[in-house]
Structures are given as structure tokens and as C-alpha cells.
A and B are shown apart, each in its own frame.
Chain A
């Protein structure tokens, strides 16, 4: 039981650390697109870590199948919907006129889409 508790705590701590890193990145990165990159940290390992910890907790300590399935569905839905939103936000931001702050070395997108 102790090992289980430790495993759950470690998983949730890993998730929290990556969520912290992503949040710091959102505040510190130089432009919109880099901030979006940092936020993916939160939605991948942050969610997976906390979700796995919650899953173990739901199965072995709460003993509730409904909670376990809900945790799985939440993780799955976040992982499936996050990239779709990210495509839309990145493309929308670019088309709305937001440009990367630094002078980029590789600007294929600008060459092809900005006449």
C-alpha cells in the first residue's frame, strides 16, 4: 500500500512539475507561437502524469470504476482535442497578423502565404 501511495504521489508530482514548467514558459517566452509551444507541456505530460496518478488512486484506493473511466476519458479527450485547437490558434494568429518577434531564419510560411 505504501509503494502504491508513493507511486501515485510521484506521478502527480511529475505532472505538477511539467505543468509548472509550461506555465513559466507561457509567461517568459518571447512571442505568441513560442508561448503556445510551452503550453503543450501542460497538456501532455502535465495531464498524463496527474491523470495516471488519479487513475491509480481511483482503481486501488477509491475502488470506483466510474471514476477510473472518467479519468481515462478526460485524458483521452484532452490529448485528442488539444492538437486540433493548437492548429486552429496558430493558423488563426498568423492570419490575424501576429508575426514571430525575432527575425526568423526560416520563413517558408511567409514566403508562400504573404504575397
Chain B
């Protein structure tokens, strides 16, 4: 957790306000003022929980293109594959699940990268990130895996998140 700073409040306010405008979709002064007040209150209370790193990575066109490629092409492919796999397990009954919580190392340094990877892993059916810890300077994720073929470590990490991590490393490293 961080201290409440002006930059943090301002960026959280901006994000909330943009979402308010998109959801109401009207330029009425009354709506805008209400939205601004609510966004300010939310920003004051919640900005200290968010990541405080330089958010201008997307001004670099190469990183931006890599990010778009990740969220539009790499991630949906993984998502559909995992979805079909889990849907099959759901339909065919539950004898073919082999759950386990594995600990895998992660090679991303940036907080944004780590958060995006944890969320991408959780969104992929079959894997849920439960906790992030740091040991001896390395970051580890605890991942609940519905088909724990491997006992954890590098190989399990490659099987769970190899492509996702390589895609994200091109954006945030």
C-alpha cells in the first residue's frame, strides 16, 4: 500500500470518470457533475491500493503494438484452448480432474507485468493465481491447477503460462 499522492488520485479519477461517461453516454451537465463527484470520492479512498509505477509505457509504439497483439491474438487463442479443455472436463464428469496448488517462478520485474500475468492466468479456465510471494529476489506465484501433471517449478510454469509470459515480457520488459 502506498500513501495517497496527487498523481495517484488524478489518474484514478480520470479512469473512473472515463468509465462513468462511457456507461451513461450523455453529455448532460448534471450527469457529468455527479460523475465527477463520485469519481473523486472513489479516487481519494482507493488510489493508494493501486500500482504506483510510471504508466507511460504505452507511449512507446513497439510496446503498445506488442500489447495489442497480446490481448487481441495471443491471449484469446490460449483462452479458447483452455475453455474447450475445461468444458470437456465439465461435460464428461469429474473423474478426470487432478487438482493441485503448484508454485512456479515468474521472470517479470514490472508490477504491471506481474499483475497482468496473474490476471491472464486467472482468466484462463483451469488455473487460478492464489498468491504472489517473493523469495531471494525471485517472484513466485501459487497457482491452483485443475490438471496438475507436474509438481511445480520451471516446467510447470512453462506449461501453465509459457506463452502468456513471453507475450507480456515483450510489453513490459
Contact = CB atoms under 8 A, between A and B. Distances in A.
Decide if A and B are genuine partners: yes
A53 interface: no
A44 B123 contact: yes
B86 A38 contact: yes
B28 to A, nearest CB: 13
Contacts of A77: 19
A19 to B, nearest CB: 10
A33 to B, nearest CB: 5
Contacts of B119: 80, 83-84
Contacts of B90: 21-22, 24-25, 28-29, 38, 41
Contact of A45 (B79, B99, B128): B79
Interface in B75-93: 79-80, 83, 86-87, 89-91, 93
B94 A21 contact: no
Interface of A: 17-18, 21-22, 24-25, 28-31, 33-34, 36-38, 40-41, 43-45, 65-66, 69-70, 73, 77, 79-80, 82-84, 86-87, 90-91, 94, 100, 102, 104-110, 112-113
Interface of B: 19, 22-23, 25, 79-80, 83, 86-87, 89-91, 93-94, 97-103, 118-120, 122-131, 133, 142, 144, 146, 148, 150-152
Contacts of A80: 119
B128 A79 contact: no
Contact of A108 (B91, B103, B125, B126): B103
A33 B97 CA distance: 11
Contacts of A18: 83, 87
Given A37-B126, A73-B19, A105 B100 contact: yes
A34 B94 contact: yes
Contact of B123 (A17, A25, A40, A70): A40
A94 B119 CA distance: 19
